[in-house]
Amino acid sequence: MIIEKLQEKNIKEFCDLAQRIILDLSYYSDIAKKNYAKSFEVKEIQNKIKNENKLFLSAKNNNKIVGFMYGFFDNTGLFWIEWIGINEENRRKGIGNEILKFLINYLKESKKVHKIVCDIRTSNLPSQKFFAKNKFNKIALLKNFWHKEDFEIWELTL
Ligand SMILES: CC(C)(COP(=O)(O)OP(=O)(O)OC[C@H]1O[C@@H](n2cnc3c(N)ncnc32)[C@H](O)[C@@H]1OP(=O)(O)O)[C@@H](O)C(=O)NCCC(=O)NCCS
């Protein structure tokens, strides 16, 4: 397994995987799926990848992307994970853990960040378990937030 920054030549493969994962999620409303899938169109990612405040990681197995993480640095020392996803047949094999481990090392070395933050739907129990296992703490509940769904904010202090 190789975890690396997303390469320009892999953007199409990256977008296809991200959209497939999003459209298959049972706990997303149709409107949420549509909006999230749209944010992973090739042109969008080609633009975002050039922005130094954004970070895209891919996990490759035998040269094929099987997982990813996308997030951004804000200007207060936080790194926000926008999305982490592993293709369905490769879940529970430790790939998500490996991506987070890579991210944490990368952010520690960058010295720009003191906390990682993410929001998770209250209905997304696998993801809550995943972040709890990786020592993130739940710090807030946001009722009626994105697309009128309830979310939790989780954080990890570096
Ligand atoms: C959440 C997600 C990224 C986890 O990735 P993963 O590679 O499957 O996770 P790992 O194999 O590294 O799991 C690490 C630990 O997290 C916990 N965990 C992960 N998935 C879990 C699940 N479905 N149920 C319970 N615990 C889970 C376990 O403690 C696991 O360790 P274990 O397998 O030794 O028990 C993956 O389930 C996913 O892509 N989900 C769909 C997309 C999504 O909802 N993304 C999050 C948006 S906030």
* SS3 assignment, position 133: helix
If one residue of 92, 131, 138 were mutated to test the ligand 1 pocket, choosing by the most ligand atoms within 8 A of its CB, it would be 92
- pLDDT at 3 (0 to 100): 98
**Mean predicted confidence (pLDDT) in 40-44:** 95
Find the residues whose C-beta lies inside 6 A of ligand 1. Answer: 21, 83-86, 91-97, 118, 120, 124, 126-127, 129-130, 133
Closest C-alpha to 148, from 127, 123, 129: 123
Residue 136 has pLDDT above 90, yes or no: yes
Burial class of residue 19 in the structure, from the number of CB atoms within 10 Å of its CB (0-12 exposed, 13-18 middle, 19+ buried): middle
**DSSP assignment letter at 143:** T
Report the number of distinct structural domains present in the chain.
1
Inter-residue contact 11 to 40 (CB < 8 Å):
no
Closest C-alpha to 85, from 74, 105, 70, 73: 70
The whole-chain average pLDDT of the chain stands at 95
Distance 60 CA to ligand 1 centre (A): 17
> Using CA positions, which residue lies closest to atom 10 of ligand 1?
94
The helix or strand, by DSSP H or E, that contains position 43, with its residue range, turns out to be: helix 42-48
Helix count and strand count (H, E) for the chain: 5, 7
What pLDDT band is residue 140 in, cutting at 50, 70 and 90? Answer: very high
This prediction's pTM: 0.96
**Lookup: tokens for 64:** 């094929």
- pLDDT at 10 (0 to 100): 97
Sheet architecture: strand order including 54-61: 2-5, 54-61, 64-73, 78-86, 115-121, 151-157, 137-142
If one residue of 17, 130, 136 were mutated to test the ligand 1 pocket, choosing by the most ligand atoms within 8 A of its CB, it would be 130
Parent domain of 35: 2-157
The CATH number for 24's domain is 3.40.630.30
**pLDDT, tens digit (0-9, with 9 covering 90-100), for 85-131:** 999 999 999 999 999 999 999 999 988 899 999 999 999 999 999 99
Those residues whose C-beta lies under 8 Å from the C-beta of residue 23, and which sit 6 or more positions away, are 33, 37
**Taking phi first (over 0 means left), then psi (-120 to 50 degrees means alpha), and beta for anything else, what does residue 57 get?**
beta
